[in-house]
Structure 1
Amino acid sequence: MSDWMDKLPQAARDFIAGRRVDEVECIVADIAGVARGKAMPASKFAHQDRFFLPNSIFLQTITGEWADNPSGAFTEPDMILTPDYATASAAPWTADVTLQVIHDVLDQQGNPVPMAPRNVLKRILALYEAEGWRPIVAPEMEFFLVARNLDPNQPIIPPMGRSGRRAAGKQAYSMSAVDEYGKVIDDIYDFAEAQGFEIDGILQEGGAGQVEINLAHGDPVALADQIFYFKRLIREAALRHDCFATFMAKPIEGEPGSAMHIHQSVIDIATGENIFSDAEGSETPAFLHFIAGMQAHLPAAVALLAPYVNSYRRYVPDFAAPINLEWGRDNRTTGLRVPISGPAARRLENRLAGMDCNPYLGLAASLACGYLGLKEQKMPRPECTGDAYMSEDELPYNLGDALDLMADSAPMREVLGVEFCNVYEAVKRNEYKEFLQVISPWEREHLLLNV
C-alpha cells in the first residue's frame, strides 16, 4: 500500500481488498448539502495533499444560480481543500474501484472557511468543548421511494412494488410494505456495509413508499458525514431498481412529510457522564436548560432546519408533523420529545428538522439552540402532557419569515458565525425570489377564470 492508503479506515481497506483503486472523488458539501469537488485518478491523488476550489461554491443556489456575495467583491479566490482520511469511503455502485473522501476547507491563510457547512458544525462543537462538554446525536432519516418522475409538471407518485401494485400509504411499521421494495432495501444494506456504516434499523413510515433509517448515536460530525453519504447511497440504490429516492420534505400531496429527527445528549468530557442525569439517575437542571434553549431559539434556527419553500408544506397541523415548541415525555405530538430511556441515555429529540436540510447545518442549528440554553440557564415552559397539536402557532410557516427571524437573532448569528449567516441568507433569499416568480397549477386552476 502507498502512504495515503495506510490512512484509510478499515471499511475502505476491506472494500479495496487488494484491488487497484481507479478513482478518488474529492468532495465537500455545499450550502444545500450537494457534493461538490473533483474526481481524479487514484495515481494523481496519491501525489497531492490538497486541491483548490473557488469559494463561490457556497454562493450557488439549489437551482444553479448565484447569490450576490454579501461581503462585496465577487473575485472567487481559491480555497484549499485537504483530505480528511477518516471519511474515506467506498462508492460501491460504480463499475470500477472508486473511493470518496470528504475534504477540510481552509482559506489560503490556513483558517477554516466560515461558510463551509462542515466547518459551521465544527464551530458549534468547539463551543461545547470550551465548556467541557461533548454532544452526542442519533439522527433518524425519513425519505420516499417514488416512481421515476421525468416531467416536473407531473405530480410525484408512489413506486411500483414487487406485487405489481403501487406502494400504499397508512402502513406504518408494516413488514410486508417494506418487502414491496425489498430489493432497494437490500442494496441500501449492501452499500452501507461496504461503506462501513452501521444502520440501527429500517422501517416503513406512514407515507406511501416512505422509509425511515435510524443511525446509531455518536459524534455529530461523523454522523453528518454519514447522512451526507447516505443520501447519495440511497439514491443510487433506488436507481438500480427503476425508481427515485427523494429527501424532499413533502414530495407527495396528501402524504406525510419526511423529517430528520435529531436525538441529542451532552457528555461531560472529564467524567464521561451524561450531564442530563445526576448520580441518582434523575433529570438535572442542565437537561431543563437545554430544553429551554430549544424553545427560545429554535424559531431563529428554522431557516436551517426547513431550508426550502417545500419544507413548510410539511408543517401542517394533525399531519404527523409536530409544529410546536412544546416538550413532553414520550409524547410524539410535541416538537421536543423526551424518549423513554435509562439515565445514561437521557436525551431530547428535536422533531422539527426536515430531511431536506443540509445534515451539517441541521445538526449545527439544533445543537446551537441547546448550547445557548445551557449557557443562559433558563427554565422551559411546563411539560405538555396532552395533545400538543392543539398548541398555538410559534414557528414561521414560510421561508421568508424564517430568514427574517434568523437575521434578527443576535445569539444565533454569533454562535453560527456572522459571515456564514450572511451567505446563507443571501442564497436562500435568492431561491425564495426565484420561487415567487413561478406560477403554480393551483393558481391557474382557481384564479385564471374566477377572479
Structure 2
Amino acid sequence: MSDWTDKLPEAAKDYIGGRRVDEVECVIPDVAGVARGKAMPAAKFGKQTSYFLPNSIFLQTITGEWADNPFDAFTEPDMVLVPDFSTATAAPWTADVTLQVIHDAMDQQGAPISFSPRNVLKRIVGLFNAQGWTPVVAPEMEFFLTARNIDPNMPVVPPMGRTGRQAAAKQAYSLSAIDEYGKVIDDIYDYAEAQGLEIDGILQEGGAGQIELNLAHGDPVRLADEVFFFKRLIREAALRHDCFATFMAKPIEGEPGSAMHIHHSVVDTKTGKNIFADRKGVETEYFGHFIAGMQNHLSGAIALLAPYVNSYRRYVPDFAAPINLEWGRDNRTTGLRVPISGPEARRIENRLPGMDCNPYLGIAASLACGYLGLMEKKASRPEFVGSAYIDNDDIPQNLGDALDLLEDDKALCAVLGEEFIKVYVSVKRNEYKEFLQVISPWERQHLLLNV
C-alpha cells in the first residue's frame, strides 16, 4: 500500500481487500448538504499535494442559481481542500473500486472557511470543548421510498411493493410493511457495512413507504458525516430497485413529514459523566439551562432546521410533527422530548429538524441553542403535560419569516458565525424569491376562472 492508503480506516482497507483503487472522490458538503467536489484517478490523488475549489460553491442555491456574494462579487478565490482520511469510505455502488473522502475547506492561509457547513459544526463543538464539555448526539433519519417521479408536475406516489400493491400508510412499526421493499433495505445494510457505517435500527414509519433509520450516539461531526453518507447510499440503493428515496420534509400530500430528530447530551470531558444528571441521578441545572436555550433560540434556528419552503408543510397539528417549543417527558407532542432513560443516558430530543436540513447545520444549530442556554443560565418553562398540538406560536410559518427571526437573534448569529449567517441568508433569500415566482397548480385550479 502507498502512504495515503495507510491512513485509511479499517473498513476502507477491508473494502479494498488488496485490489487496486481506481478512483477517489474528493467530496465537500455545500450549504444544502449536496456532495460537491471532484473525482480523480487514485494514482493522481496519491501524488497530488493540494486540491482546490472556488469558495462560490457555498453560494449555489438548490436550483443551481448563484446567490449574491456578501463579501466579494467579482472574484471566486480558490479554497484549499484538506482530506480528512478518517472519513474515507467505499462507494460500493460503483462499477470499479472507488473511495469517497470528505475534505475540509481552508483558505490559502490555512484558516478554516467560516461558511463551510462542516467548519460551522466544528466551531460549535469547539465552544463546548472550551468549557470542558463534550457534546454527544444521536440523529434519527426519516425518509420515503417513492415510485419514480420523472415529471415534477405530477404528485409523488408510494412505490410498488413485492406484493404488486403500493406501499400502505398507517402501518407504523409493521414488519410486513417494511418487507414490501426488503430488497432496498438489504442493499442499504450491505452498502452501510461496506462503508463501515453502523445502523442502530430500521423501522417502518407512519407514512406510505416511510422508513426510519436510527444511528448510535457519538461525536457530532462524525454523526453528521454519517448522515451525509447515508443520504447518498440510500438514494443509490433505491435506484437499484427502480424507485426513488427522498429526504424532502413533506413529499406526499396527506402523509406525515420526514424529520431528523436529534438527541443531545453533554458529558464532562475529564470525568466522562453526563452533566444533565448528578451523582444521585437527579436532573441538574445544566439540564434545565440547555432546554431553556433551545426554547429561547430555536425560533431563530428554524431557518436552518427547516431550510426550504416545503419544510413548513411539515409543521401542522396532529400530523406527528411538533409545532411548539414546549418540553415534556416521553411526550411526542412537544418539540423537546425527554426520553425515559437512566441518569447516564439523560438526554433531550429536538423533534423540530426536518430530514431536508443539512445534517452539519441542523446539528450545529441545535447544539448552538443548547450552548447558549448553558451560557445564559436561564430557567426553562415548566414541563408540559398533555397534548401540545394546541400551541404553535413558537414556530415561523414560512421560510421568509424564519430568516427574519434568524437575523434578529444576534446571540445565535454570533455563535454560528456572522460570515456564515450572511452567506446562508443570501442563499435562502434567493431560493425563496425564486419560489415566489412559481405559479402553483392550486392557484390555477381555484383562481384562474373564479376570481
Residue by residue over 1:331-370, the C-alpha shift from the partner in whole angstroms, topping out at 9 and shown as x without a partner, is 0000000001110000000000000000000000000000
CA contact (8 A) 1:55 1:77 kept: yes
What's 2:419 paired with? 419
Using the alignment, how far apart are the partners of 2:349 and 2:329 within structure 1? 10
Secondary structure at 2:200 match in 1: strand
- Asked if 1:167 corresponds to 2:153, the answer is no
In the aligned structure 2, how far is the partner of 1:33 from the partner of 1:162?
32
Q: Is 1:50–1:83's contact at 8 Å kept on the other side of the alignment?
A: no
SS of 1:82's partner is strand
The residue correspondences of 1:269-418 to structure 2 (distance < 5 A) are 269-418=269-418
The amino acid that maps onto 1:211 is I
CA contact (8 A) 2:323 2:392 kept: no
SS at match of 1:390: coil
Q: Aligned partners of 1:204, 1:390: CA distance in 2, in Å?
A: 27
- 1:114 and 2:114 matched: yes
Question: How far apart in 2 are the matches of 1:251 and 1:162?
Answer: 22
Aligned residues between the structures = 451
- Runs (5+) with no aligned partner, structure 2: none
Structure 2 vs 1, CA of residues 392 and 39 (structure 1 numbering), >3 Å: closer, same or farther?
Answer: closer
**AA partner of residue 40 (structure 2):** M
- SS of the aligned residue for 1:328 comes to strand
Residue 333 of structure 1 aligns with an amino acid whose one-letter code is T
CA distance in 2, matches of 1:244, 1:73: 37
Contact 1:49 / 1:83 at 8 angstroms: preserved in 2? no
CA contact (8 A) 1:52 1:79 kept: yes
Q: Distance in 1 between matches of 2:187 and 2:166?
A: 20
After TM superposition, which residue ranges in structure 1, 4 or more long, deviate above 2 angstroms?
none
Contact 1:171–1:177 (Cα < 8 Å) also in 2: yes
Which one-letter code corresponds to 2:365 in the other structure?
A
Equivalent-residue separation in structure 1 for 2:369 and 2:32 (angstroms): 21
Query: Offset of 1:156 from its aligned partner?
Result: 0.2
Write the deviation string for residues 158-212 of structure 1: whole angstroms up to 9, x where unpaired.
0000000000100000000000000000000000000001100000000000000
Q: What amino acid maps onto 2:137 in structure 1?
A: V
8 Å contact kept, 1:268–1:275: yes
Q: TM-score, normalised on structure 1?
A: 1.00
| TM-score normalized by the length of structure 2 | 1.00
Aligned residue number for residue 20 of structure 1: 20
Cα distance in structure 2, aligned partners of 1:217 and 1:412: 25
Structure 2 residue 257 is the aligned partner of structure 1 residue 257: yes
Separation in structure 2 between the aligned mates of residue 418 and residue 282 of structure 1, nearest angstrom: 37
Instruction: Give the C-alpha shift of residue 216 in structure 1.
Output: 0.2
Contact 1:49/1:82 (<8 A) preserved: no
In 2: Cα distance, 1:75 partner to 1:409 partner:
30
| Residue 137 (structure 1) aligned with residue 137 (structure 2) | yes
Corresponding residue SS for 1:26 = strand
User: Equivalent residue for 2:202?
Assistant: 202
Structure 2 match to 1:95: 95
Contact 2:143 2:247 in 1 (8 A): yes
Residues 278 and 284 in structure 2, CA contact (< 8 A), matched pair in contact too: yes
Distance, in Å, in 2 between the alignment partners of 1:292 and 1:49 is 46
SS at match of 2:432: helix
Q: Could you tell which deviates more after superposition, 392-401 or 102-111?
A: 392-401
Match of 1:3 in 2: 3
* Counterpart Cα distance in 1 of 2:93 and 2:68: 37
Tell me the alpha carbon deviations over residues 222-277 of structure 1, each in whole angstroms, 9 at most, x when there is no partner: 00000000000000000000000000000000000000000000010011100001
Q: Is the 8 A contact 1:322 1:333 kept in 2?
A: yes
Q: Which amino acid aligns with 1:31?
A: V
Q: What do residues 92-141 of structure 1 show as CA deviations (whole Å, max 9, x unaligned)?
A: 00000000000011000100000100000000001101100110000000
Q: What is the distance in 1 between the residues matched to 2:14 and 2:216?
A: 21
| Cα distance between partner residues in 2 of 1:366 and 1:50 | 34
1:31 has 2:25 as partner: no
Secondary structure at the residue paired with 2:47?
coil
Q: What amino acid sits opposite 2:196 in the alignment?
A: G
How big is each residue's C-alpha offset from its partner over 1:8-41, in whole Å with a ceiling of 9 and x where there is no partner? 0000000000000000000100000000000000
Q: Unmatched 5+ residue regions in structure 1?
A: none
Tell me what 1:74 maps to.
74
Deviation at 1:319, TM superposition (A): 0.8
> CA shift at 1:429, angstroms?
0.3
